[in-house]
Structure 1
Amino acid sequence: MIGLGGAYLVSSNNGAKATSPAAETPAASAPGAPAQGSDGALMNPSPSPPRETSASRPPASKPVGTVLWEGPLVISVGEPKDLDTAPPVHSRNSIENDVAVIPPGGHVLSPEIGLKGWMEWKDSAKAPSYADCSAVDTLGSKTQLKLKTGMVFCVRTKEGQLARLTVKELDGWASDARGTFDVVVWNR
């Protein structure tokens, strides 16, 4: 019988004392091989190594305003990005994604379910800092933005990170639309 707490051994040994699998003496085995009980069943099999992924959640121990990830990022139609991973990736869970490029009327940046807000940075004299981008909390919105090369905007992600995106290149049209951005993501 298998229950929420684990597995139980059920035996019909006619009154003889039952032993749990953990109490059985393992058969001799090669080093690194899983131990086997007297009935040949595996005991305490070794866990498989953790699966490595190309993106991970940033560590929470970094100070506020620390750069978590910086680099070029391509956002294509049908491939929205989760800016809370390092590097940003497309999440199959749409609530994790923050930004998407959509094609109607040219290149438009669209907020995804996870995005908390964004704002365009209009001061061309300097790139916005972490402190500048924090104004997204009071001045930001979730409306679509028509993109132009050179445009800069700040984003507050689902997990509360701040990010600066600078449009470097816009390519394609309709279902092939994509934008290339220089991205900086800061720790919250």
Structure 2
Amino acid sequence: MNVIDNSKIQETDIDLGLLLSVLAGAKDSPLIFYYDGQPVKPGYHITEVKAGQFSALDCGANPEDWTEIFIQLWDIEEGDRTHMPSGKFYSIIRKVTEHLQLDGSAKLTFEVSDGVRPMQLYCAATPVLSAGAVHVELSPRPASCKPRDRWLAEENKKAAACCGPAVAGSRCCA
């Protein structure tokens, strides 16, 4: 029997609204993305922003609907450029929003390539303001089983509710 350690599951899927709210408060700070253990090069830029509405059936034959926003980063070095200021990134996304009506609660996916290796899909962790820059850790977007994901979320919710004193007949403990 396989036992899943729920304590090791880390939430790394932010939405567009969260990213923009952090960037709005740090517009002059450099925005540095990290992927594959390295920061993006100072010359990186956004090559495309796209939004999609998706409908699907998961592996349990459950209907799924979601909106997803893809931000494509080209990880290159150009001249003596510095990392993009958070305010510039914010402005680019706001300009796109004028044309595409981006949903702030949409799932956010980053497509990253250095122009040589194939583009890879990443999800983003909550941005962190540290040492005068906004840091965003990108992690590879793995395949998942949505029925299992829903079950794990429910189990995590039950475990989180188990934080008070033990109740007779309960599995919860203080």
TM-score by length of 2: 0.28
The answer to which structure has the higher helix fraction is 2
- Which structure has more RCO (C-alpha within 8 Å, separation ≥ 6)? 2
Choose 1 or 2 for highest CA Rg: 1
